[in-house]
Amino acid sequence: MWKAILPACVALVTLGLSLVSGEVMKRDGEQKQVLALAQGEVTAPKITGSTARTEKLVAQQPVPAPASGPLVALVIGNAAYPDAGLPLAQPVNNARTLAAVLKDTGFDVTLGEDLGKQAMEQTFEAFKAKVQPGATVLIFFSGYGIQAGRQTYMVPVNAHIWSEGDVKRAGVSLEPLLAEIETRGAGAKLVVLDASRRNPFERRFRSLSTGLAAIQAPDDTLVISAAAPGKVIGDGEGDTSPLVDELIEQIRAAGHSAETVFSQTRLAVSRASHREQVPWVSSSLAQDVALTGSDQARTQHSAR
């Protein structure tokens, strides 16, 4: 009888030991997992697919640092052209409004209004003296601009123009100014041209001159003009132009790079005008450029 029940007893004992062993291993595994969590050894599951790619792209979005060098701006609004008829309504308002915003942003602004050629050249000289190596430079001109010989000339208010030759003699080209600023070691060069108006002297010309020419600018330059090369636009009815209105709106949106500011301005003006006015942006910037100085950035951050 003993021999008959012995195998059954052995089987029961073996089963009991197995159950006890399994419970011990389970508890041991749980303890190890808790310990690993406490020590930071457990690795979270990897995110795959579109979510991971999206997070990577967000992480890689460039955040422009505040400009380390000085911020200097030349802002000119020419409106009173006796030889062209009635004064323009917007250029002086454009210049004053933008100059105030740039000052608030940290720019050292040189402002000129209704300048003749000699006054423009003197203003250029005073402005160039402010340009230091590494400076971020912004140049704004609102008034009449005329294309001659594939160059754009800013027209002084005292200009008397009867031909393309007169444009070259009486006008002021932007390209030599940019070249000299480049030789002074300026960093980013930003240009805003609100001058794509119809040439008021075109009836005196033998050949048609329409709109502005593309700017031949040095490297690290960003340009926005009110319309594409060769296109003209009207001023509209506001005290300031749509280009200036939208540019100011984008500058006030803290944290944007200059290239983003100009691109968003182009899109906003295009949408608001139902594509009747599409500003032109060209860029050779090699880096993100902020439109805020370091001191101004710290003030905005602390205000938040």
* Structural domains of the chain in order of their starting residue, each with its CATH number: 71-303 (3.40.50.1460)
Rounded distance between C-alpha atoms, residue 100 and residue 232, angstroms: 27
Q: What's residue 69's pLDDT? A: 83
CA angle 80, 153, 218 (to 5 degrees): 135
pLDDT digits (tens, 9 = 90+) for 33-73: 434 434 444 333 343 443 344 334 333 445 555 556 899 99
Helix boundaries (H) for 106-194 = 117-128, 164-170, 174-183
pLDDT digits (tens, 9 = 90+) for 82-127: 988 899 999 999 999 999 999 999 999 999 999 999 999 999 999 9
Q: Is 256 left (phi over 0), alpha (psi -120 to 50) or beta?
A: beta
Contact predicate 263/278, CB 8 Å: no
pLDDT exceeds 80 at position 253? yes
% the chain with pLDDT above 90: 58
Q: What's residue 150's pLDDT? A: 85
Q: Which two tokens stand for residue 119?
A: 């006054």
Rounded distance between C-alpha atoms, residue 266 and residue 101, angstroms: 19
Give mean pLDDT, residues 148-161: 92
The dihedral through the CA atoms of 223, 243, 92, 154 has a sign that is positive
Q: Which residue has the higher pLDDT, 225 or 150?
A: 225
Q: What's residue 94's pLDDT? A: 98
Q: What's residue 84's pLDDT? A: 87
Q: Which two tokens stand for residue 55?
A: 């997070």
Task: Indicate the DSSP class of residue 153.
Answer: E
Q: What is the mean pLDDT of the chain?
A: 80
DSSP H or E stretch at residue 4: helix 2-38
Q: What's residue 68's pLDDT? A: 62
Give mean pLDDT, residues 232-253: 92
pLDDT exceeds 60 at position 4? no
Q: Taking Cα atoms as reference points, which of 210, 268, 212 lies closest to residue 243?
A: 268
Contact predicate 69/134, CB 8 Å: yes
- State the amino acid at position 125 in one-letter form: E
pLDDT exceeds 60 at position 171? yes
Contact predicate 118/195, CB 8 Å: no
Of 21-25, 84-88, 209-213, the least confident: 21-25
Q: Taking Cα atoms as reference points, which of 192, 232, 241 lies closest to residue 212?
A: 232
Q: Which residue has the higher pLDDT, 208 or 37?
A: 208
